[in-house]
Amino acid sequence: MIGGLQRPDSGEVRVAGHLLSALSERELGEVRREIGMLFQNGALLDSMTVFENVGLPLIEHTKQSRAEVRKRVDAVLEAVGLGRDVEPLLPRELSGGMLRRVAFARAIVMEPRLLLADEPFSGLDPLNVVRIEDLLTHLNRDLGLTIVVSSHHMASSLRMADQMVLLHDKKCVVGTPEELASHPDPAITEFIGEDGRAYLARLHELQQREDP
Amino acid sequence: MQPDSTRDLTVGLFVLIGLSTLAYLSLKVGGLEFSPGERIELHATFDDIGGLSVRAPVRIAGVKIGQVSDIGLDEDLRALVSMEVDAGLPLSIDSSAAIRTSGLLGDQFISVELGAEDDVLKDGDEFTFTESALSIDKLIGRFVQNSGVSD
Amino acid sequence: MSSLVHDLGARSSSLVGSLGRVSRFGLSLLRALPKRPTRFGFFVHALFDAGVLSMALICLSGFTVGMVLGLQLYTTLTRFGAAEGLGAVVGLSLVRELGPVLTGLLVTGRAGSAITAEIGAMKATEQLDGLRMMAIDPVHFVAMPRALALTVAMPLLNGLFITLAIGGAYVVGVNLQGLDGGVYLSGLENAVRFGDDVGQSLLKSLVFGMLLGLIATYKGHSCAPDSAGVARATTSTVVTASVSILLADYMITALWGV
């Protein structure tokens, strides 16, 4: 909905000052060039190679030469930990983790100001989860990218998030990870779970040890 | 999209084959002519044109030289047939036009038989001598009549 | 009784609604046609799928239909002592009706259904949404090259079908049944006119190609994003396109004045 793929039943969505529901599909296109989206299943075009998939937004929307596109694609693929050897492969020849990382590369190749990530951790092994987490944190902390993540993966969310929104039973609760962990509603603390609380407690300890 | 030369080649071949079949159908089967060349219009009147239709071929010695362009009636209510014929053929002015049938049930066409004069037919001229279609009905009728008389 | 009327109203309003959506989709296809970049590479790719891969089927079917026509018509015509008419009858029926209609139906089954399934699968796996999020119009990127390829491929395949069928009837009529080859071909060439017959054939195949292109891409774009939805959309393409082709065939024949 933030990307404008679906229109809200009621209320309004504003991205960078644009009221999305008031825009036509073409005007939405202008806004979307500032947005990168990471789909849950990658949504890579399965008739095109990895290189073509990642380079597609560049070829479509910029006047960069073939060599510049190649350089940029190499760079973002390296940023997600993939080598040039995957470029001629088709999406169906990749493993789930690689697929997710290629999709990630495509989402950031245009250097968006906002990154939407739909369930970036689901169906991945722990190693890949950490890798994606690092990437997201790096983009957010070092490059100043706004990132919206939807996830059921509580541990990752608690580790990374500045602000969390919990949707539960038609209600939503907003707060930092710490605020939510000590929320009075037992349904919410249960959702965050034992692991989450233990993690937060340890994080808290670490911070106190560093702070003084 | 990486260029794929084998695929491009087969697509090119496909288009080529498709176009050549269409060209065959249009030019050979359909009889389409791009440059019809110089044509002159000739007329002929007949008592009976039988089943002659517009676009029926006009032939000399079996070779097609043109086609019927229009069929109508003149003031005397005789059939007036207009035909387009290749220009430059020395058709003498006493040539005759006859309506013939190819085969027993085949299409009817106009057969031109050359005369002996030195002057030739020009655009808009009319054949002086014509021979109407041979009608099988009439033939049979005449045959029956004749045999009736002889009895 | 009132429920029957109610039902009729609901059905007709849904029919009008879907007709409206199809025409709106057709308009967006037309608007996408001159847009840059031209997507020529995709068009060639789609022409390969729709045209080249249909060639074997069209050749085989054309030749077989020609052979059947040759056999059936030869025996029937011989009964009236008019076997020389074989070329004329085969030529006219093939060029005017059988060629465009059978090609249309065969290509619907061979290429139209595949295009719906492909676009439907792209929708189910969020590839179309992915394109939209990259500010790329999926109608321009996915549907337009394929619809255009069907429109271009149809007349070419039609020509191929008719030519092969004329050959098939030649083999049966001349080589097997002993009709004179010259009689067959001259009968064919005298009966078939470019303006009336070949022109009608070309117009029909072009219209059928556009209809199929519109229906196949629309069904793919509007299908429910799951595997059952893709299956339904594919079936619906075959049914809708076949019926539309037959209806359009009748209308063109009637309007042409036969």
Distance of CA C247 to the CA centre of its chain: 12
Terminus-to-terminus CA distance in chain C, angstroms? 43
Residue A52 C-alpha, separation from nearest chain B C-alpha, in angstroms? 7
What gap in Å lies between CA C213 and CA C50, rounded to an integer? Answer: 10
Distance CA A124, CA C247 (A): 52
Radius of gyration of chain B from its Cα atoms, rounded to whole angstroms: 23
- Percent of all residues in chain A with a pLDDT value above 90, rounded to a whole number: 0
Distance CA A79, CA A71 (A): 12
Q: Are A110 and A117 contacting, i.e. CB atoms less than 8 angstroms apart?
A: no
According to the model, what pLDDT value does residue B63 have? Answer: 82
- Contact partners, residue C189, CB within 8 Å, separation at least 6: B28, B29, B31, C87, C91
The amino acid at A170? K
Residue C181 identity (one-letter amino acid): G
Q: Are C194 and B15 an interchain contact pair (Cβ–Cβ within 8 Å)? A: no
The string of pLDDT tens digits covering residues A49-98 is: 888 888 888 888 888 888 888 888 888 888 877 888 888 888 888 887 78
Within an 8 Å CB–CB cutoff, is residue C180 touching chain B?
no
- In this structure, are residues A73 and A86 in contact, taking their beta carbons and an 8 Å threshold? no
Q: In chain B, which residues have their Cβ closer than 8 Å to the Cβ of A49?
A: 2
Residues composing chain C: 258
Strands A114-118 and A146-150, by their bridges, are parallel
DSSP C110-134: IIIHHHHHHHHHHHHTTHHHHHHHT
Do B130 and B100 contact (CB within 8 A), yes or no?
A: no
Neighbours of A86 (CB within 10 A): 18
Mean pLDDT to the nearest integer, A27-50: 81
Contact B18 C160 (CB under 8 A): yes
Quote the pLDDT of residue C118: 93
* pTM confidence score: 0.78
Q: Where are the beta strands (DSSP E) in chain B?
A: 39-46, 57-60, 63-73, 79-86, 96-101, 108-113, 129-131
Q: What is the mean pLDDT of residues C143-169?
A: 94
pLDDT at C61 over 70: yes
Q: Quick check: B1 contacting A, CB < 8 Å? A: yes
Contact between chains at B21 and C193 (C-beta distance less than 8 A): no
Encoded tokens for A11 = 């209320």
Q: What share of chain B is helix, strand, coil (3-state, %, to 5)?
A: 25, 30, 40
* pLDDT tens, residue by residue, B43-95: 888 888 887 887 788 888 888 888 888 888 888 888 899 988 888 788 888 88
Contacts of B25 in chain C (CB under 8 A): 95, 159, 162-163, 192, 198, 201
CA distance A142 to A79: 13
Distances from the Cα of A197 to the Cα of A169, A182, A191, angstroms: 22, 9, 10
Residues of A in contact with C122 (CB under 8 A): 45-46
Compute the nearest-CA separation of C104 from chain B (Å).
Answer: 15
CA separation for the pair C159, C242 (Å, rounded): 20
Beta bridge partners of B84: B41, B67
Tell me whether C125 touches chain A (CB under 8 Å). yes
Pairing of strands B63-73, B57-60: antiparallel
User: Could you tell me if C48 lies within 8 Å of chain B, comparing CB atoms?
Assistant: yes
- Model confidence band, residue C241 (pLDDT cutoffs 50, 70, 90): very high
What's the one-letter identity of residue A60?
E
What span, in angstroms and rounded, lies between the C-alpha atoms of A46 and B79? 71
The residues spanned by each domain of chain A are: 14-174
Q: Does B7 touch chain A (CB under 8 A)?
A: no
Interface check C130 vs A, CB under 8 A: yes
List pLDDT tens digits, range B117-140.
888 888 888 888 888 877 677 777
Distance (Å, whole) CA A189 – CA A182: 7
Residues of A within 8 A of B7 (CB-CB) are: none
Q: Give me C239's structure tokens.
A: 């049914």
| Contact (Cβ atoms closer than 8 angstroms) between residue C221 and residue B88 | no
Contact A56 C130 (CB under 8 A): no
Residue C248's SS3 state is helix
| Tens of pLDDT, residues C77-100 | 888 878 888 888 899 999 999 999
Q: Are C134 and A60 in contact (CB under 8 A)?
A: yes
Which of these, A72, A75, A80, A120, lies nearest to A98 by C-alpha position?
Answer: A80
Return the residue matching tokens 């000590």. A182
Q: Which amino acid is at B144?
A: V
Whether chain B has a CB inside 8 Å of the CB on A49: the answer is yes
CATH T-level topology, domain A14-174: Rossmann fold (3.40.50)
- Contact call for C135 and A29, based on CB within 8 A: yes
